[in-house]
Chain A
Amino acid sequence: MTAELLRGAEAIGLAALMSGVEAYFGYPITPSSEIMEFMASEQGDPRFPRYRAFVQASSEVEAVSMLMGAGAAGHLAMTATSGPGLSLMAEGISHAYVAEIPFLIVDVNRGGPGLGTTEPEQSDYLFVTRSLGHGGSRAIVLAPEGVGEAMELVNRGFRLAFEYRIPVVILTDAIVVHMRETVDVPELRPVLDGVPPWAVRGKRGRGTRNALTTGFLDSRELKEFKEGLERKWRRISEREAYYECHMCDDAEVIYVAFGISARVAAEAVRELRGRGTAAGLFRPITLAPFPSGALARLRGRGIRFVVMEMNEGQMYRDVREALGPDEDVEPIPMMGGIVTRSEVS
């Protein structure tokens, strides 16, 4: 590991390149464009010979469809976008989910709905975790708390995308993407060695063809296929729900927060500890699957849970569901991305 001062956007791009990304297809939108610009500047970098395709698409619809193509062909492909663009990408994500096509989308959450603001919010939470696209489609969602973790999660995101053949979303915000941090640059390995056996690239001597379809001839066929997808999702939920529990052992108050809010919450924890209050932080790293099991293990200890998020209280529902009706859970919604001291403490 080497320590480097990196901007979030650059770190995310670098992590993707180290993971062996081959294609970047995107459409500019604040506050995600720096990632795209970095990827544009990296074309032809001799350190990353696998990286060979960059296209500024004509819309997010086109970009996500290109991701479908490159992913279907068994290659690592990514984009970065923000709310209005993510709405347009929902079409491709739904299709990719059922066709089991892997790719990575970095959603740099801005204020929403509509055009909202270009300031940070975490208001895409419900959209990305509940059902990204029609028909009950899903994605794995990872939320880094800072630049260093963003690098690891980009790599892990690609790994999960290809291991489970599913779209993966990194949910982050303008603070993480624009801030410079000194990070220990992790040694990330290329995710793929060789062509996945399901890749759509021509039979090339294979006896049977590979066909990735999203349409079904009848309800029974669809039902069976979706049952398979649900089994896969259960497997993902059992194995890939990540979280961090910081100073939880003796805590009387536990903040539940993700991404950049968790950084703020960690600060509050330090302050409260300084004042003699046993505070802790539970930080989901995967938002989907949500680490409900780990959170539920904290039940029955008389802990006061405080759910802090930069939206109107979207994750609160998941926390309440995991903890049940008897726990003391208080939401701190911070809309418009404005975090005030009084709200936090």
Chain B
Amino acid sequence: MGAEVRQAKRIGLLYDGRASTFCPGCEHGLLLKLIARALEELGVADRAVMVGTVGCSSLGYLLFDSDFVQAPHGRAPAVMAGIKLVEPDAVVFAIQGDGDALSIGLQELLYAADRGIPMTIFMYNNMTFGMTGGQMAPTTIPGMRTTTTPRGRDVKLSGSPIDACRLLSAIDGPAYLRRAILAPRPLRVKGKIFYSAREALEAYRIVLNAFRAQLKGGFSFVEFVGTCNVNWRMGIDESKAFVHEVGAKYFPPGLCRDIYGLEGGGKV
């Protein structure tokens, strides 16, 4: 994310010039940048509180200049609830990994959502445990090899991918539920690879909506499907293509809940 940090000079919430903790080709840095910009655009940067999760996003706080508290693995939604219930003016958000949110922290996520406590959670779904070296996650797709499914995920033994948006759709609490693909689609033009800008622009509008939902008093959850080229053992372009070609089948982008009509009837 080095280049992105350098560009970020204008964005008040992002520290300039710090070495990124993310691997090259990963969308974690992009997500941080979109969040920073959205908080500024909404004029709430000064009230923003980032709750640290445990996973690759956890070191993002080093790049992000808001108040911050680190939660134990999976517990961010509960820590966020604790803050929000005594500081209702704070704008509280977290970037959870799929393991943090759906494995160890499923209960905390589910109950924060069920209570509809105003907060905003972005789940970075990279279909693996990135930080610990690429083990199976609840979102690992069938047949996918990880360090703990060396022969590919066997659904008979290890279950099928958990669809967070559908799961959360089953309860009434959430105000805004959304899934989108964060990885830019690689486009081949005259033998050269270009990245589509569409995903980032759409993601930005979704991030804005997620915060708007919190500001209106609702619980918002966005699942961003991203890459982890390092642990997938793929090239960067290949990993981005994989998300669009294979990942999207299991995690189709779309709106699951929007009680405030932020997306104007389903379209972003």
Q: Which residues of A contact B (CB under 8 A)?
A: 22-23, 25, 52-53, 55, 57-59, 61-63, 65-73, 75, 77, 91-92, 95, 99, 101, 200-205, 209-215
Contact = CB atoms under 8 A, between A and B. Distances in A.
Contact of B68 (A52, A77, A200): A200
A213 B82 contact: no
A62 B87 contact: no
Contacts of B61: 211, 213
Interface of B: 45-49, 51-52, 58, 61, 65-72, 75, 78-87, 89-91, 107-108, 110-111, 115
A209 B69 contact: no
Given A65-B82, A202-B90, A72 B69 contact: yes
A188 to B, nearest CB: 20
Given A23-B82, A201-B89, 11 more contacts: A57-B78, A62-B107, A62-B111, A69-B78, A69-B81, A71-B82, A91-B75, A200-B49, A201-B49, A202-B90, A203-B46
A141 to B, nearest CB: 22
Which of B48, B49, B72, B85 has the most chain A CB atoms inside 10 A of its CB? B85
Contacts of B69: 68-69, 72, 99, 101, 200, 211-213
B83 A70 contact: yes
A62 B107 CA distance: 8
A248 to B, nearest CB: 44
A89 to B, nearest CB: 11
A55 B86 CA distance: 12
Contact of B79 (A52, A55, A68): A68
A92 B46 contact: no
Contacts of B70: 95, 99, 212-215
Contact of A209 (B67, B81, B90): B67
Contacts of B66: 202-203, 209
B108 A65 contact: yes
A33 B61 CA distance: 38
B79 A69 contact: yes
A70 B90 CA distance: 12
